């Protein structure tokens, strides 16, 4: 009996001890669970661990729901906790954070508070780069926002310019139009405030235009790109204090570094044209290098006209011929033939020059200017045609062409009449003609290289 009691007591004691051990194990597990709780910011994980991971998911879920409803004020505390504690969880934390803080900045009236909010917005961008990279894209957006909210603070404009320049250099032709435009806006602002040199401004402009050229080549249907390029060029060439010599010097450095880079050559040609600097040797060199790679009738004609202006007749002739070969529009081709006629005359071949002027007449009916060109060729042949019986008869055929010019094209009438008044006093006189049996109204053949019949008048 004592033995039985002893066994029972022993059994009860063991049972009680087992319960205690079980409770202790549960408590220990709970301590382990909470002891293992750790935020993502601390352990490098996406959500953290233990209770902190649950808290992170809760904050993410709550703030997103409020952001969907555009209730940024209520979303803010939950977003802030997610931003601080689990920064690696989702990129959307940073995208939504930008939305929230833009809203706060634009509603805030106190400049000091607004400035602090902008600082937080910049931190959001920095952390996005830190945890999700995308440096090229994010720096561009960061620069745009900083310039949007602090464009009156020159130090912040410099900071924004640094972000934008970094973005443009990294993204190149993947840069958005907004980033390119804002980058140039910051560059021009800093130049006007003497924070960067003309060389820097010029380099920035050439970089931006070069990128736009590539983007236009890749997206020819995008009508906004040419508009942006035109606006940017207009703003650049009109900026006060940008000296042509400084501009040429800056561009020349880049040209020497990359003399055959087609995108750079396009930029050089276009900007020097915009600044009316086509007679500079730099423009000619760039244009010829570009033409050798991408021959077009338009560029050939530009080189030809500039060469003609600079009295480089041989180059003018070569490039007018190139323009004619490449052109499909007859009206434009007629222009080039007339230019070729002038260049050929300068090379001393009046007969061939007349042939080219006649081709211009054939290609464009009702155009009086080629007739005026032929009249000039005739009128300027007095010395080389001195061997004909009435050398001054060349003025008769010259006036014939001027009358023809007026007949087909009333728009040149004033110019033609002026030339007729100048040439008529040089007609042969009656006494001179009488000894050759040439009377008023007679047909007279003018030889030399001209070889045309005309009517005698005194």
Residue-level pLDDT at 242: 83
Written as six digits, the tokens of 374 are 């032929």
d(CA 104, CA 176): 26
Phi and psi (nearest 5°) for 444?
Answer: -130, 130
Sign of the C-alpha dihedral computed for residues 429, 430, 431 and 433 taken in this order: positive
Task: For residue range 172-189, list pLDDT tens digits in order.
Answer: 999 999 999 999 999 999
d(CA 265, CA 289): 8
Distances (CA, A) of 388 to 3, 162, 431, 448: 162, 77, 17, 7
According to CATH, where is 1.25.40 located in the chain? Answer: 295-365
Crossing angle between the packed helical segments 297-309 and 281-293, to the nearest 10 degrees = 150
Beta-carbon contacts of 285 under 8 Å, excluding residues fewer than 6 positions away, are 255, 259
pTM of the predicted model over 0.95:
no
Residue 2 in this model has a pLDDT that exceeds 60: no
Residue 418 in this model has a pLDDT that exceeds 80: yes
Q: What is the mean pLDDT of the chain?
A: 89
What CATH number labels 295-365?
Answer: 1.25.40
Residue 30 in this model has a pLDDT that exceeds 50: no
Nearest to 378 by CA among 338, 342, 350, 404: 350
How much is the average pLDDT of 85-114?
94
Task: For residue range 426-455, list pLDDT tens digits in order.
Answer: 999 888 888 888 899 999 999 999 999 999
More confident residue, 1 or 396: 396
Q: What is the DSSP letter of 392?
A: G
Task: For residue range 321-342, list pLDDT tens digits in order.
Answer: 999 999 999 999 999 999 999 9
Beta-carbon contacts of 385 under 8 Å, excluding residues fewer than 6 positions away, are 391, 394, 446, 447, 448, 449, 450
d(CA 305, CA 314): 12
Q: Is 38 helix (H, G, I), strand (E, B) or coil?
A: strand
Residue-level pLDDT at 241: 80
Q: 121: part of which helix (H) or strand (E)?
A: helix 111-132
- Share in percent of the chain as helix, strand, coil (round to 5): 75, 0, 20
Tell me the percentage of the chain whose pLDDT exceeds 90.
74
d(CA 87, CA 92): 10
- How far out from the chain centre does Cα 13 lie? 90
d(CA 449, CA 43): 96
């Amino acid at each position: 009996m004592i033995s039985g009691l002893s066994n029972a007591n022993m059994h009860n004691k063991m049972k009680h001890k087992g319960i205690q051990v079980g409770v202790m194990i549960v408590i220990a597990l709970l301590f382990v669970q909470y002891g293992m709780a750790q935020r993502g910011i601390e352990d490098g994980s996406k959500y953290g661990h233990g209770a902190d991971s649950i808290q992170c998911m809760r904050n993410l879920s709550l703030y997103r729901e409020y952001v969907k409803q555009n209730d940024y004020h209520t979303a803010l505390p939950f977003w802030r906790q997610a931003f601080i504690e689990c920064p690696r969880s989702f990129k959307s934390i940073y995208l939504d954070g930008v939305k929230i803080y833009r809203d706060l900045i634009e509603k805030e009236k106190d400049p000091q508070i607004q400035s602090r909010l902008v600082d937080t917005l910049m931190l959001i961008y920095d952390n996005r780069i830190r945890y999700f990279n995308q440096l090229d894209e994010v720096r561009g957006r960061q620069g745009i926002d900083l310039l949007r909210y602090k464009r009156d603070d020159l130090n912040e404009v410099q900071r924004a310019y640094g972000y934008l320049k970094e973005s443009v250099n990294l993204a190149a032709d993947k840069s958005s139009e907004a980033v390119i435009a804002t980058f140039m806006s910051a560059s021009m602002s800093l130049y006007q405030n003497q924070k960067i040199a003309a060389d820097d401004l010029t380099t920035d402009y050439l970089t931006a235009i070069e990128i736009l050229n590539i983007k236009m080549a890749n997206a020819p249907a995008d009508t906004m790109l040419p508009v942006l390029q035109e606006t940017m060029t207009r703003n650049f060439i009109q900026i006060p204090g940008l000296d042509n010599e400084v501009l040429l010097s800056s561009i020349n450095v880049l040209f020497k570094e990359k003399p055959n880079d087609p995108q750079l050559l396009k930029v050089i040609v276009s900007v020097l044209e915009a600044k009316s600097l086509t007679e500079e040797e730099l423009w000619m060199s760039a244009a010829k290098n570009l033409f050798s790679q991408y021959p077009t009738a338009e560029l050939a004609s530009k080189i030809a006209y500039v060469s003609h202006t600079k009295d480089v007749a041989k180059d003018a002739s070569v490039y007018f011929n190139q323009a004619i070969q490449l052109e499909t529009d007859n009206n434009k081709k007629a222009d080039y033939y007339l230019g070729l006629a002038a260049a050929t005359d300068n090379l001393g071949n009046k007969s061939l020059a007349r042939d080219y002027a006649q081709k211009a007449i054939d290609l464009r009916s009702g155009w009086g200017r080629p007739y005026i060109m032929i009249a000039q060729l005739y009128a300027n042949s007095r010395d080389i045609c001195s061997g004909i019986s009435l050398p001054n008869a060349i003025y008769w055929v010259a006036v014939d062409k001027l009358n023809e010019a007026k007949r087909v094209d009333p728009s040149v009438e004033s110019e033609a009449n002026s030339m007729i008044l100048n040439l008529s006093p040089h007609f042969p006189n009656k006494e001179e003609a009488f000894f050759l049996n040439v009377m008023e109204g007679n047909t007279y053949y003018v030889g030399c290289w001209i070889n045309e019949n005309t009517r005698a008048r005194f």
